[in-house]
Amino acid sequence: MELWADNNYHWYLKQRIGRRLAGGITRAVWHPEEPLTLYLSGTATAIVRVE
């Protein structure tokens, strides 16, 4: 998974995620109250918090 941001009509790659989770990413959910907090889960891994 790649997280991108745009600024001034240009896209910037902010982070590559995926190799941290065994079996790959199966679900990605943004936290409803904490800005810029993403929760990832994989087939063989518990939930990982990415800030």
Q: What does pLDDT average to in each consecutive run of 10 residues of the chain (51 residues)?
A: 87 78 74 84 67 58
- For residue 25, is it within any domain? yes
Domain boundaries, position 50 = 18-51
| 40 C-beta neighbours (distance < 10 Å), count | 19
Residue 37 belongs to a domain: yes
- pLDDT at position 34 is 84
Q: What pTM was estimated for this model as a whole?
A: 0.58
Residue 33 lies in a domain: yes
Q: How many domains does the chain have?
A: 1
> Whose structure tokens read 């990413």?
25
Task: Tokens 């190799």: give the residue.
Answer: 19
Q: What is the pLDDT of residue 20?
A: 60
Q: Which two tokens stand for residue 42?
A: 């994989």
Whether 12 is covered by a domain: the verdict is no
